[in-house]
Structure formats: C-alpha cells, structure tokens
Amino acid sequence: MKAQFGTLISVLGLAACASSGASRPAPSGNVTHWSGSFRAANLASSAVMAPATPNRGAGSINLTALGGTPAETRVEVTISGATPSMQVGWAVFGGACGSPAPIVAGQNQFPAISVSSSGDGHIQADISFTLDPRSSYHANVYFGSRANDMNDIMMCANLTPQ
C-alpha cells in the first residue's frame, strides 16, 4: 500500500510539473542565480516610433547574488545583433517583459554596454540590489545609451530563478 501511495504521489508531481508549461516553478529556499534570454521587444505599431532598422538582436543575462552589506548582485549581459560601434543601455525591472514596473536599482548603476564593430557586446557589473524569489523580474536592452522609456526597448528577457 505504501509503495502504491508513493507511486501515486510521484505521478501527480510529474503531472503538475508537466502541466505548468510557461509558468515559473516556485523556488524553495534562497535563490542565488537568475537567468534569461533576450528576445526582440514588441515595438509600437506606429512607424514613427519604430527604429530605422528592424531588431534582430539576441543575448543572455545571468545574475548571481553575492551577498554582503549592502547586498550586491553580479550581472553579466551578452548581446549580439546590435547596431555596431555604439553604446546601449540596459536595466533590470520588476514584473514580466512589457510591464511598467520600477527599476531595481538606480539608473546610473547600470553601465552602458559598448557594442563592437560586429554588433556584439558584453558587460559584467556588481550592482547593489537583491531579487525576491517570490517576485518576477525582467531586463531590457535599449537602442540608446540609457534606460529611457518603453518605446526605446531593443530586447527584453524574463528572468528565471535557478
């Protein structure tokens, strides 16, 4: 009887995981690592607001809690397909991609990414903030050198706790 009950619990657990699809698993304990993959942002339908060239950018973001007082997080951002030889801004926000949630740290704490002549860029920065594992977060990369507004977003990545 105990073996059958254990099997039933295992099957129900697997079914629950399989049916969750796009939902994020509820993390248990301390989450020390988050990651995400950038995808093209849904640009405004107005041709006036869209960039002159279509976005074909991609990339990834990895965040690792470093602890300390004040608590810091190491963020590594890698992008490709950006406009060559310029600087692009980026930042981490609460909520999912497209939400107008607040930035997690001061805008000036997110240094611009220098894009190479081939359109690739990488940055690593230690920034004073922590992420709550019960909340959702996203990161934006912008066409300009600063995190300005929703109409200037090149790419977005929803962050997933690991």
> How far, in Å, CA of 117 to CA of 23, rounded?
38
Check residue 54 and give its pLDDT: 53
Torsion (CA) 96, 21, 39, 56 in degrees, nearest 10: -160
Decide: 113 and 122 in contact? Cβ < 8 Å. yes
77-109 pLDDT, tens digit per residue, is 999 999 999 999 999 999 999 998 999 999 999
- Which pTM was predicted? 0.75
Q: Around Cβ 137, how many Cβ atoms within 10 Å?
A: 23
Tokens linked to 127: 């920034």
Check residue 26 and give its pLDDT: 41
Distance of CA 162 to the CA centre of its chain: 13
Per-residue pLDDT of the chain in tens (162 residues, 90 and over written 9):
444 434 333 333 333 333 333 334 444 457 799 999 999 876 543 344 444 445 568 999 999 999 888 999 999 999 999 999 999 999 999 999 999 899 999 999 999 999 999 999 999 999 999 999 999 999 999 999 888 778 889 999 999 999
Check residue 50 and give its pLDDT: 45
